[in-house]
């Protein structure tokens, strides 16, 4: 080939070299746990093959206490990202490098996630003003059952022991009470004359009111069925009669530890019906007096 031909070939090669872009230089440093450095450099080189840069593109991934720090340097610019996932940072590094070398590229670098704003304290809504009306919580009725004993005077010929069972239903300071009583048998006093042995079973119903704590007042009715057996008489037989009267009493509660309580009480009775026991033909043995009464003690439980 002539000298002129060699000159033509050289000029053509120079023109071709001027048209082909120079490959971008790459420098990467990443931890082993984040992937193979050679694979990352190869992928980055493939993505940057069509871009030219006067300086080396550097990618550095450094561990931090809270994660990893990514630093990308290209085209005299520097970008930093923080994240706990190093593989996500490596993918972001490729996009950042392309964006720095070619700002018109459609691939944009991911923006770091904004830090969450601190929670604002919720303002406390002031409670509505208290009403002038007194606070009256709803109260359910209370049921109490008690058993006890005492002494009863008047219904039988002599003072006699008394056993009783009492119950009450109470709303706050008012309520009703009901109960049963048994009066042990007693005999007339005169042993030289015919007499009788008399016992009684009774019941009562009353309304109750508590004017003060531990103090209770009752007013109601009481009735007894008296049974008599003749003594020292040729006439053999039994008899029975009814007593009815108005009753009023009061009680005091010396001990109260829910659900248990004890109380002491007194009660008087005005007898409207006063039965009389006679031995035929016309010998009066005993007549219930106009007034009778009792004293008692009880122990019970509240439900």
CA atoms 16, 74, 32, 90: torsion sign: negative
Q: Report phi then psi at 253, rounded to 5.
A: -100, 100
* Residue 107 in domain: no
CATH at 148: 2.40.160.20
Which helix (H) or strand (E) segment is 135 a member of? none
Q: What is residue 160's predicted lDDT score, i.e. its pLDDT? A: 96
> Residue 207's pLDDT is what?
97
In a domain, 132, yes or no: no
Closest-CA residue to 231 (of 279, 271, 298): 279
Q: Residue 115: its pLDDT value, please?
A: 62
Residue 77 resides in a domain: yes
Same domain, 178 and 80: no
Residue at a domain's end among 76, 101, 126: 101
Domain termination site, one of 101, 132, 164: 101
46 within a domain of the structure (yes/no): yes
For residues 166 and 207, what is the distance between their CA atoms, to the nearest angstrom? 13
Q: Do 152 and 268 sit in the same domain of this protein?
A: yes
What pTM value is reported for the model? Answer: 0.54
Token look-up 């872009």 returns 21
> In terms of residue numbers, what domain contains 35?
22-101
- Residue 147: inside a domain: yes
Which pLDDT score, from 0 to 100, does residue 117 have? 67
The whole-number pLDDT of residue 196 equals 86
Question: Mean pLDDT, consecutive 10-residue segments, the chain of 303 residues?
Answer: 46 41 67 82 76 71 87 86 87 83 60 62 66 60 96 95 96 95 88 82 97 95 93 73 96 95 97 87 84 97 94
Residues 6+ apart with CB under 8 A from 20: none
Residues 164 and 276 in one domain: yes
E strand map for the chain: 26-29, 57-64, 67-74, 77-83, 142-153, 160-171, 174-187, 195-212, 215-231, 238-257, 260-273, 276-279, 283-287, 291-302
* Distances in whole angstroms, Cα of residue 45 to Cα of each of 80, 215, 246: 20, 100, 115
Residues 169, 77, single domain; the answer is no
Distance CA(97)–CA(59), nearest Å, equals: 9
Instruction: Count other C-beta atoms under 10 Å from residue 277's C-beta.
Output: 22
Do 297 and 148 fall into the same domain?
Answer: yes
Residues 65 and 146 in one domain: no
Q: How far apart are CA 201 and CA 203, in angstroms?
A: 7
> What was the pLDDT predicted at 169?
96
Residue 271 and residue 162 share a domain: yes
Over its C-alpha atoms, the chain yields an Rg (Å, rounded) of: 56
Phi, psi dihedral angles at 27 (to 5 degrees): -135, 120
- Count up the domains in the chain and report the number: 2
Predicted confidence at residue 140, as pLDDT, reads 85
Last residue of a domain, one of 49, 77, 101: 101
Given this model, what pLDDT does residue 192 score? 65
- C-alpha closest to that of 104 among 59, 54, 53, 51: 51
Return the structure tokens found at 54. Answer: 């006067």
Give the Cα separation of 42 and 37 in Å (integer): 9
- Report the distance separating Cα 54 and Cα 164, nearest Å: 114
Sign of CA pseudo-dihedral 205, 210, 211, 214: positive
Instruction: Kindly report the CATH number assigned to the domain that includes residue 83.
Output: 3.30.160
The rounded distance, in Å, linking the Cα atoms of 296 and 266 is 7
Query: Under a CB-based contact definition with an 8 Å cutoff, are residues 218 and 179 in contact?
Result: no
């Amino acid at each position: 080939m002539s000298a002129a031909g060699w000159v033509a070939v050289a000029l053509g090669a120079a023109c071709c070299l001027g048209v082909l872009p120079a490959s971008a230089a790459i420098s990467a440093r990443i931890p082993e746990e984040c992937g193979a450095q050679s694979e990352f450099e190869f992928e980055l080189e493939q993505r940057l093959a069509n871009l030219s840069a006067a300086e080396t593109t550097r990618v550095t991934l450094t561990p931090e206490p809270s994660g990893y720090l990514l630093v990308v340097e290209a085209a005299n610019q520097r970008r930093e990202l923080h994240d706990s996932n190093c593989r996500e940072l490596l993918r972001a590094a490729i996009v950042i490098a392309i964006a720095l070398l070619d700002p018109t590229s459609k691939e944009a670098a991911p923006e770091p996630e904004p830090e969450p704003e601190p929670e604002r304290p919720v303002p406390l809504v002031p409670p509505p003003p208290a009403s002038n009306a007194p606070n009256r919580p709803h109260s359910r009725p209370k049921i109490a059952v008690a058993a006890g004993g005492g002494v009863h005077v008047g219904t039988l010929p002599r003072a006699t022991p008394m056993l009783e069972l009492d119950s009450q239903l109470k709303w706050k300071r008012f309520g009703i009470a009901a109960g049963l009583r048994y009066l042990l048998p007693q005999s007339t006093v005169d042993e030289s004359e015919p007499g009788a042995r008399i016992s009684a079973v009774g019941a009562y119903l009353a309304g109750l009111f508590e004017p003060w704590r531990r103090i209770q007042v009752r007013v109601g009715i009481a009735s007894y069925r008296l049974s008599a057996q003749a003594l020292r008489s040729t006439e053999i037989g039994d008899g029975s009669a009814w007593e009815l009267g108005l009753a009023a009493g009061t009680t005091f509660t010396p001990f109260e530890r829910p659900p248990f309580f004890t109380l002491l009480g007194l009660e008087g009775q005005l007898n409207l019906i006063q039965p009389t026991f006679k031995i035929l033909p016309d010998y009066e043995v005993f007549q219930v007096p106009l007034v009778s009464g009792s004293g008692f003690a009880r122990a019970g439980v509240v439900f």
